[in-house]
Amino acid sequence: MTARILNGNEIREQIYADLRKEIAELKSMGIQPGLAAVLVGNNPASEMYVKSKVAACAELGLFSDMITPPDTIGTAELLALVEQLNQRDEIDGILVQLPLPKQVNSKRILEAVDPAKDVDGFHPVSVGRLVAGQPGLVSCTPAGVMEILRRSGIPVEGANAVVMGRSDIVGKPMALLLMHAHATVTICHSKTKSLPDVVRRADIVVAAMGKAGMVQPDWIKPGATVIDVGTNKLTDAELAARLFASNPRRLEKFREKGFTTCGDVHPDAAQVAGAMTPVPGGVGPLTIAMLMSNTVKAARLRRASRVAQPAAAKG
């Protein structure tokens, strides 16, 4: 048996098709959703991420404003910048690209973002709404995983789901989303006892531990759905030889470049699982798609209701 590959690029295009319709509807009401991206300094990886987000805005017809303060900026100056963005009505989403320079208090900056514009879903108010099962803006990667499951027809209700990892950005919100979808959820982490045995009971495994190839094929229940959130830069030739022993082409490419990107799940788990996301090309494309989705959602929650009120009052 070979797992059905859950292609993140295809699912992203489905989401974009839906978003284009919604954006067109908002524009007919005189609303163009807008995203502000704050990129501090000159971190090459951060620059690449933010440029890809701005490019996605352009592709979908969203307004975007990229703000690039110097890496010498202090907490007070950055707080003032965030407050300016909070006040700009044409900005529906505020993205502060992490990491920030050491002299900046990142927690204070993220908590200064208006929760109505918190398209990353990091604000304590956003997290509180998720815990309470109230409508709001949800962290992009876990929201993307739910879209993969939903659009791939993977049953979640009643399923045993194991989430490996307890980060604020992925693990915790992922567990809450699965629980709200009526899965029975177990959260695992570095201190979990008998981890392979816990994972073997899962109908759905979400691996977000940040450790290359950690989840072995014999940890997976035959037919289970495996969502690999890991994006690890692999440079260890010995580990690469173990992970790609059954994929000579991938191993050859690794040897040519000296590195590759791999997930938290051993690729051979695809011989056991019923469905599995690849790395790259699985969860990754959904993260930016859900950022776009959150920006449109924020615009609708913030502005479309104002446009609709007079008409409702007449009725």
Catalytic machinery residues: 53, 97, 120
Residue 237 lies in domain: 140-284
Q: Are residues 152 and 226 in the same domain?
A: yes
* In-domain check, residue 132: no
CA–CA separation, 154 and 145 (whole Å): 11
Residue 244 sits in a domain of what CATH number? 3.40.50.720
Give the whole-angstrom CA distance, residue 304 versus residue 97. 27
pLDDT score of 312: 39
- Residue 303 is predicted with a pLDDT of 83
Per the domain annotation, does 144 fall within a domain?
Answer: yes
* 150 plus 264 within the same structural domain: yes
CB 98 within 8 A of CB 50: no
Which pTM value belongs to this model? 0.93
113 and 169, same domain (yes or no): no
Residue 166 belongs to some domain of the structure: yes
> Is there a single domain that holds both residue 41 and residue 157?
no
Q: Give the integer Cα–Cα distance in Å for 244 and 197.
A: 24
Residues 160, 204: contact at Cβ < 8 Å? yes
The answer to the question of residue 295 being in a domain is no
* Same-domain pairing of 149 and 238: yes
Residues of the chain with pLDDT under 70: 1, 304-305, 307-315
Residue 36, strand partner residues: 65, 94
Q: What is the CATH number of the domain that holds 35?
A: 3.40.50.10860
Q: Which amino acid is at 173?
A: P
Helix (H) or strand (E) holding 206: strand 204-207
Kindly provide the residue ranges of all beta strands, DSSP E only, lying in the chain, ordered along the sequence. 4-5, 34-38, 63-67, 93-96, 160-164, 184-188, 204-207, 225-228, 232-234, 260-262, 275-276
User: pLDDT value at position 313?
Assistant: 42
Separation of alpha carbons 280 and 7, rounded Å = 10
pLDDT for the residue 315 = 39
pLDDT at residue number 307: 60
Model pLDDT for residues 259-303, shown as the tens digit of each residue: 999 999 999 999 999 999 999 999 999 999 999 999 999 999 988
Same domain, 146 and 195: yes
Indicate whether 123 belongs to any domain: no
CA distance 8 to 264: 17
Please state the domain count of the chain: 2
The reply to whether 145 and 276 lie within a common domain is yes
How much is the pLDDT for 284? 94
Q: Are residues 260 and 197 in the same domain?
A: yes
Instruction: Count CA atoms within 13 Å of residue 9 on its CB side.
Output: 4
Pair 173, 254 in one domain: yes
- φ/ψ (deg, to 5) at 166: -130, 30
